[in-house]
Amino acid sequence: MMRWFRPDRYFSSVYDIDFEAEYGTGFRGLIFDIDNTLVPQNAPIDDRARDFLKDLHRIGFQVTLVSNNGIERVEEFSRGTDALWVHNAAKPSRKAYRRAMSLMHTDTENTLFIGDQVLTDIFGARRAHVPNILVDPLDPETDTKLIRFKRALEKLFHRPPKSRPKKASFRKKA
**Residue 170 lies inside a defined structural domain of this protein:** no
Residue 51 lies in a domain: yes
Structural domains of the chain, count: 1
DSSP 62-81: EEEEE-SS-HHHHHHHHTTT
Mean pLDDT, residues 162-172: 48
Predicted local confidence at residue 18, as pLDDT = 95
pLDDT at 119: 83
Structural domain contains residue 172: no
Residue 55 has a pLDDT of: 96
Average pLDDT, integer, range 76-82: 91
pLDDT, residue 46, reads 94
Euclidean distance between CA atoms 94 and 91, whole angstroms? 7
Query: Average pLDDT in the 12-31 region?
Result: 95
> Residue 21's pLDDT band (boundaries 50, 70, 90)?
very high
For residue 25, tell me if it sits in a domain: yes
Confirm whether 121 is domain-assigned: yes
State residue 145's pLDDT score: 75
Assigned domain for 113 exists: yes
Question: Bigger pLDDT: 41 or 99?
Answer: 99
Q: How confident is the model at residue 172 (pLDDT cuts 50, 70, 90)?
A: very low
Q: What is the mean pLDDT of residues 44-54?
A: 95
Q: Is residue 11 part of a domain?
A: yes
What range defines the domain where residue 69 resides?
2-157
What average pLDDT does the chain have?
86
Q: Which residues contact 164 (CB under 8 A, 6 or more apart)?
A: 10, 11, 12, 16
> Tell me, what CATH number does 100's domain have?
3.40.50.1000
Query: What pLDDT was estimated at residue 12?
Result: 87
